[in-house]
Amino acid sequence: MGVPRISAFYGIVIWMYRPDHPPAHFHAQYGVTWAQVAIETLEILEGELPPRALRLIREWAQEHRPELLADWDRAQRREELVPIAPLA
């Protein structure tokens, strides 16, 4: 099973592992930087991102929190994840 990419926008790639450790989170990469971001709080759990990329990621995640949580649940069941619309 590969690492499913669930969204991409402005050079940022978002993905989730199936399954992954709690708390519910997603992974974001911008260039050579990356981070794990908690879905509930939108805080960085590990890694770092440039401030502008982090602002865009948080804006996107806030708009799509229910979809992210649904994909998190799918990931824990090792099911196929559903792509999420990029930040417009």
Return all residues near 43 (Cβ < 8 A) that are at least 6 apart: 37
Write out pLDDT tens, residues 18-35: 888 999 999 999 999 999
- What is the percent of the chain with per-residue pLDDT over 70, rounded to a whole number? 98
Which amino acid, residue 54? L
Locate all alpha helices (DSSP H) within 1-88, ordered by sequence.
Answer: 51-63, 65-76
The continuous run of DSSP H or E covering 19 comes out as: none
Q: Is residue 71 a contact partner of residue 23, using CB atoms and an 8 Å limit?
A: no
- Asked whether residue 80 carries a pLDDT value surpassing 70, the answer given is yes
Which pLDDT score is estimated for 2? 62
How is residue 73 annotated by DSSP? H
Which pLDDT score is estimated for 88? 84
pTM of the entire structure? Answer: 0.93
Write out pLDDT tens, residues 41-55: 999 999 999 999 999
